[in-house]
Amino acid sequence: MKKIILLVFAIALSFSSCEKDDICDANTPTTPRLVITFYDYDNPSVLKTVTKLKVVGAGMTDGIIFNATATDDSKYLTSGSTISIPLKTNEDTTSYSFTLNYGNANTVFVNEDNIKFDYTRKEVFVSRACGFKTLFTLNTSNPYTHTDATVPDTKWIKYISVEKSNIENENETHIKIFF
């Protein structure tokens, strides 16, 4: 009888020392991206689709990958009414060039605008396995700077509206762009 109790105690003791695996679940929310939705400038309640939009960070040569399955330059292009782009987690500003109709043979239809987002950062502990994530708050006094490197009258983006200055998840639109 003592041997059985000792055996059960040894087995129970071996299980009590197990720890949860330190693997970050893929469904765990991490640092959110900035969600931008495009609207028709003439009819502000109507979503508008961008065509062959390429978004490139300042100082970068390659754009944000929107289509991971593509093997050519089309992986940097998107056509839709909503995009999600990352913000820098180690700086308080991020600049992008937004090129509409990228790669069009007729250069008259290719139009590039530059936008600089200004924000504050806050690191939040997620878990031991996942580490920290960064939450952003767009500065209310000047959340963005909209400039064009070429001719100011040719901007394709007509107006930008901040819908939600706190960027805590990717389930809602943070910025509306009207064109």
- How confident is the model over 133-166, as pLDDT tens digits? 999 999 877 777 876 545 556 688 988 999 999 9
Main-chain dihedrals φ then ψ at residue 18, nearest 5 degrees = -75, 145
For residue 7, what are its two tokens?
Answer: 């055996």
pLDDT over 80 (residue 73) = yes
Looking at residue 3, its pLDDT comes to 62
pLDDT over 70 (residue 68) = yes
Looking at residue 107, its pLDDT comes to 86
Pairing of strands 175-178, 34-39: parallel
pLDDT tens digits, one per residue of 21-48: 678 888 888 999 999 999 999 999 999 9
CA separation for the pair 75, 95 (Å, rounded): 20
- Closest by CA to 178, choosing from 70, 81, 62, 95, is 81
pTM, rounded to two decimals? 0.82
